[in-house]
Chain A
């Protein structure tokens, strides 16, 4: 073996060993997490998630943090059930985009912190959980007095909704269109319409 071959073998061994050590990479820096939360880079919208599922994105891992019974009743296609306790033990591909959702957003946000502390970098939450999926993908609604931007967005949502067997509805009174952080109204929390949506099986 020549000197060059030996040197290249050493370089490969060092890079390979370092790759292994990087599996135990330090848990996330709290200030780094705070920046991500502030920048909202930890979120994935229901429409983006639906688009990726529709395109059979192989790099996506979706976890439903609700109870097993709730999961069996209804879940986002390709999602797998996972208990919060399992978050601390499960071994998942480090490069995968891990999407967490729960009933609302609390459990998913807590699980996001746990995953990030374990060194998983590409973790996202569906901020308003299964509610967001239900209202944005399965039952998108267009207000009778919709703006052009809302109409354009509804077109996209309708296509996704039909793909997932949803029921897009047009021409509904403005008061029946759910609002959340995703709408043009920029409200921080879903307003008032949670109950009617849940009664419809969410």
Chain B
């Protein structure tokens, strides 16, 4: 059976419906177990006092990237059927900056706010409320925002396409960046502990 099952029909519609909450629960579970339901830990990323977020998310990126690449190479996943979101430079840069500010102020991102709320924390609920309010504001103001939203489009481009290198070279480059990042972060954390 070749993935992605949503495109190849490998799980059927019922299987897909059942898999969605299971994947969501697993995502929340691992975030919580990784300690990412804790606001000080998340905010610590911005002050370089706790780099758990970097390590967890780069690990996730690396695992998913290597897994997807090699599953495709072994014919178990058809990457051409996997949805690739489009890139628009300016709106996504502005959105990323806003996201970062919200992340820093709240100490939580959308996923971790749900995890925090599920853990019984009121700040998690407050961030979820803010997130929903943001969705309403965005959609209400969409006509006004639309020119910016659709500006500077690059299409569904991948890092390797943008660099003009092969997919394998792109995978190797991201792997090298991640491993160097882990090594540097490890060294930085050890130096903080020893000082």
Interface, chain A (partner B; CB < 8 A) = 1, 5, 9, 12-13, 15-17, 19-23, 58-59, 91, 93-97, 122
Contact = CB atoms under 8 A, between A and B. Distances in A.
Given A23-B169, A93-B161, A12 B62 contact: yes
Contacts of B168: 19-23, 94
B84 interface: yes
A93 B172 contact: no
Given A12-B62, A93-B167, A95-B167, A19 B69 contact: yes
Interface in B64-78: 66, 69-70, 72-73
A59 B164 CA distance: 15
A58 B175 contact: no
Given A19-B66, A20-B171, A93-B160, 10 more contacts: A12-B66, A16-B66, A16-B172, A16-B175, A16-B176, A22-B73, A23-B167, A58-B84, A93-B166, A94-B167
B179 to A, nearest CB: 6
Interface in B57-102: 62, 66, 69-70, 72-73, 79-80, 84, 86
Given A16-B176, A19-B172, A91 B166 contact: yes
A17 B164 contact: no
A91 B73 CA distance: 19
A17 B172 contact: yes
30 contacts: A1-B186, A9-B182, A12-B62, A12-B66, A12-B175, A12-B179, A15-B69, A15-B175, A16-B171, A16-B172, A16-B174, A16-B176, A16-B179, A17-B175, A19-B169, A20-B171, A20-B172, A21-B168, A22-B168, A58-B84, A59-B80, A59-B84, A91-B165, A93-B158, A94-B166, A95-B72, A95-B80, A96-B80, A97-B80, A122-B80
A150 to B, nearest CB: 29
B164 A91 contact: yes
Nearest to A119: B166
Interface in B145-195: 155-156, 158, 160-161, 164-169, 171-172, 174-176, 178-179, 182, 186
A23 B86 CA distance: 25
A104 to B, nearest CB: 28
A58 B172 CA distance: 23
A190 B166 CA distance: 38
Nearest to B85: A58
A150 B167 CA distance: 42
Contacts of A17: 172, 175
A20 B72 CA distance: 15
A83 B9 CA distance: 39
Given A23-B169, A95-B79, A95-B167, A9 B160 contact: no
Contacts of A59: 80, 84
A1, A13, A23, A91: most-surrounded residue (chain B CB, <10 A): A23
Interface string B94-124: 0000000000000000000000000000000
Nearest to A11: B66
A77 B179 CA distance: 42
Contacts of B166: 23, 91, 93-94
Contacts of B69: 15, 19
B156 A58 contact: yes
